[in-house]
Copies of this chain bind each other. A is one copy, B any other.
Amino acid sequence: MDPLEVKPLGPRRRGRRRLRTPNPEVRRRIVDAAGELILEHGVPSLRIDEVAELAGCSVGTLYLYFDGKDEIFTALVVEQTAQLRARLNAASDGAPDHARAGQRRLAAYLDFVEQTERGFLHFVRAGSMETTAGDLNTWAFEQHANDLRPILKELLGPGPIDPVELELLVQSNLAVTQHLASYWLEHRDQLTRQQLEQFLGKVTAAVLLALRSS
């Protein structure tokens, strides 16, 4: 599904007017304003009037572009997923081998987590929303899975690979990385980034070895 077609499910606003020539600049300002407010305060306290104010438009104008909070949030998740994928792929593209490609992706991911901080938690926690592409978090996971799958496949070696095991490996790797990154953000006093990276490196190597030799 084209990412631009990912929209929240649920009742649409009735009688919504649509613009014949929407201004991409105004849309951009609305999405950016919502992103800024979410990074600071989270999704549950996001208010449309505050988004409009920060975007420098009226609430009426905002509703010409978006059906409401859920649609703005969905647009943000779709954009941020694309940006994060681009960052991770840029980090791994020049790597001399697949093992280092994996390490560089992890480092780039943790850079992102460190930069967005509580915003990362806000996004992960609000991301379960029914959309035209299914659950939004699951959709985002699937995007990252597409990038990670070929790398993990190579790391499993040249032998025959059980496609179910490969998929479970990809899903596990994404789930552990996301969860431990959140855990790290909430326990910065108990856990350094280095400890987290070492743990993930050790665990990934052990799992790859076990699946390779089976």
Contacts and interface: CB of A to CB of B under 8 A. Distances in A.
Interface of A: 10, 42, 44, 121, 124-126, 128-130, 135, 137-138, 164-165, 167-168, 171-172, 174-176, 178-180, 183, 186, 190-191, 195-196, 199, 202-203, 205-207, 209-211, 214
A214 B198 CA distance: 11
The A interface is mostly helix, strand or loop, or mixed, namely helix
B179 A164 contact: no
Copies of the polypeptide in the assembly: 2
A180 to B, nearest CB: 6
Contacts of A125: 128, 135, 137
24 contacts: A125-B128, A125-B137, A126-B128, A128-B128, A138-B186, A164-B191, A164-B195, A167-B191, A168-B180, A168-B183, A168-B191, A168-B195, A171-B179, A172-B180, A172-B203, A175-B175, A175-B178, A175-B180, A176-B176, A179-B179, A202-B210, A205-B210, A206-B207, A207-B207
Nearest to A136: B125
B207 A203 contact: yes
Nearest to A196: B168
Nearest to A203: B207
A130 to B, nearest CB: 7
A183 B214 CA distance: 23
